[in-house]
Amino acid sequence: MPGRVYETVAADGRGGDARRNAVRARTLLLSGLLLAVTLHAFHAMAVVVIVPVLAADLDGRALYGAVFSAYLLASLVGLIAAGDRVDRRGPRRPLAEGLVVFALGLTGSALAPTMPSLIAARVLEGLGGGAVSAVLTATVNREYAASDRPRILAMMSAAWVLPGLVAPPVAAWIAETYGWRWVFLGVLPLVGVSAGLTLPSLASTAPVAGVRSTARAGLAVQLVAGFGLLLLALERLPALSAVVAFTVGLLVGARALTGIVPVGDRRPAVTTRFLLVFVFFGADTFLPLALTDARHASLFTAGALMTTGALSWSFGAFVQARWATRLAPARVATMGLALVAAGIVGEIVALEPSVPLWVAFVGWSAAGIGMGLVYNATGVVAMAATPSGREGETSTALGVADALGFALAAGAGGAVLAWSERMGGTTALALSIVWSVMVVVCLAACCAGRAMRGGRADAPFEASVVSLPS
């Protein structure tokens, strides 16, 4: 029942008390949603910065990529299961369960004595974080009128700005001063406050009658099993057993994916989103390692580079919102992907010790702007084509694109790093290979973007979904 909070205020005839109560309820709900976004933003950006430190501390360099892949593959199960339940039962219970599981995962990560145990805790984080992510966008579509959604989603995007400024340097400072475990523990209080603000405001939300999402937890399990097997096989290639495992994993994962990604006008946007995330985070995930290992820079400098990318992403999202009624999504996608590709080329160049580090900052600024442009265009096209009552389905599909793209990029990059280490190669060489592949994939993303609905120059989209992946 989209727009329930606002429409109830307008229709209520009982006077000032009811109106004030409704205003208070929507204020608390919005505060909780924004805090949840801030929670995920801080967590995501902080973990990327500290992984080089915790991998060295736990003697787990070979599992560098698995720290991200475990979280993201598990988040797929949380995303799909929660998206299904939001459409059938409403968002309150899935949100509560997601926050609890996420908190348990944070605690496990902070206390992990070994790299495998930390990865197991990251699985819990992923299950909870995926559920929360699925609920957020669906809640905006269910609880706010259509005319108010762009403003609310823009505010959710703005909630990434402060974490983008403070999370990388603060995480680097905490890790170097007190230890990386305190970074995980520091996120825990935000979980409780977010639950206290959001859950009471969702107490009276009713599910949409007769609606069942096509996404099922069984598909999520198949998806994770298939692509998880694929990622494990990557580290063993070219052995025959690894080739077989890779093929089986690809077939199982792809079959499950076709049952999750919606058909029609939403599919090209979701496909573009997947390729975009794969490309961007295939570089972003390994930037701190590149600076600290290949360029021998400090962890604080690596954090500053991550901050640069986050802020430029927000700027790109702002520009996209201003262009929303003037440029078609396909044109925005082409410009944005060109910037992303140019930025990654800049990072490849910056791996050379003789190149000034400012080249890396300029390159990642360009990539961030391009990401902000394209990411939000895919969101608005997908949501604009969503039938009423299927918000959880579309939110789930976009979340799957985010999580799977990130997971495959991190896993593939980690596999190349492991190969390079076994062969006596350098980190710079391995990352040059990974990032060159990402530049090529940008071309495939451009082709998918051309198929998005409203892709002609005379058919611009009318509203902007401004958000970032959790």
Q: Two tokens at 324?
A: 């929303």
Residues in Cβ contact with 251 at an 8 Å cutoff, skipping those fewer than 6 apart? 226
Query: Does residue 100 contact residue 254 with C-beta atoms inside 8 Å?
Result: no
Burial of 63 from C-beta contacts in 10 A (0-12 / 13-18 / 19+): buried
The predicted-structure confidence for 428-463, as pLDDT tens digits, reads as follows: 888 999 999 999 998 888 877 776 765 443 344 333
- 335 within a domain of the structure (yes/no): yes
Whether this model's pTM surpasses 0.85: no
Window from 23-27, 191-195, 324-328, 329-333 with minimum mean pLDDT: 324-328
**Residue 409 CB neighbours (<10 A):** 28
CATH number of the domain bearing residue 77:
1.20.1250.20
For residue 460, being part of any structural domain is answered with no
Q: Is there a domain that residue 401 lies in?
A: yes
Q: What number of CA atoms fall less than 13 Å from residue 433's CA on the CB side? A: 14
DSSP secondary-structure letter at 327?
S
For the stretch 13-31, pLDDT in tens is 455 666 666 667 677 777 8
Of 212, 216, 210, 211, residue with least CA distance to 260: 216
Structural domain includes residue 55? yes
Helices (DSSP H) in 178-216: which residue ranges?
181-198
What is the C-alpha separation between 273 and 106, in angstroms, rounded? Answer: 28
CA atoms within 13 A on the CB side of 266: 21
Taking the C-alpha atoms of residue 401 and residue 408, their distance in angstroms, rounded to an integer, is: 11
Domain that holds residue 362: 4-214+262-449
Please give the biggest Cα pair distance in the chain: 75
Nearest to 140 by CA among 127, 156, 126: 156
SS3 state of residue 448: helix
Among 206-215, 317-326, 330-339, 353-362, the minimum mean pLDDT is found in: 206-215
Higher pLDDT, 364 or 408: 364
Q: Are 343 and 231 in contact (CB under 8 A)?
A: no
Residue 316 lies in a domain: yes
What per-residue confidence (pLDDT) applies to 122?
Answer: 94
pLDDT digits (tens, 9 = 90+) for 66-109: 888 888 888 878 877 777 677 677 778 888 888 999 999 999 99
- Please state the domain count of the chain: 1
Is 107 exposed, middle or buried, given 0-12, 13-18 or 19+ CB atoms closer than 10 A? Answer: middle
The reply to whether 140 falls in a domain is: yes
* Cβ-contact 433, 321 below 8 angstroms: no
What is the reported pLDDT for 456? Answer: 40
| pLDDT at site 114 | 92
pLDDT the model gives residue 461: 39
Q: Which H/E stretch holds residue 363?
A: helix 358-384
DSSP string of 409-441?
Answer: HHHHHHHHHHHHHHTT--HHHHHHHHHHHHHHH
**How deeply is 437 buried, as exposed, middle or buried, from its count of CB atoms within 10 A (0-12, 13-18, 19+)?**
middle
Closest Cα partner for 329 from 400, 384, 404?
384
Residue 80 lies in a domain: yes
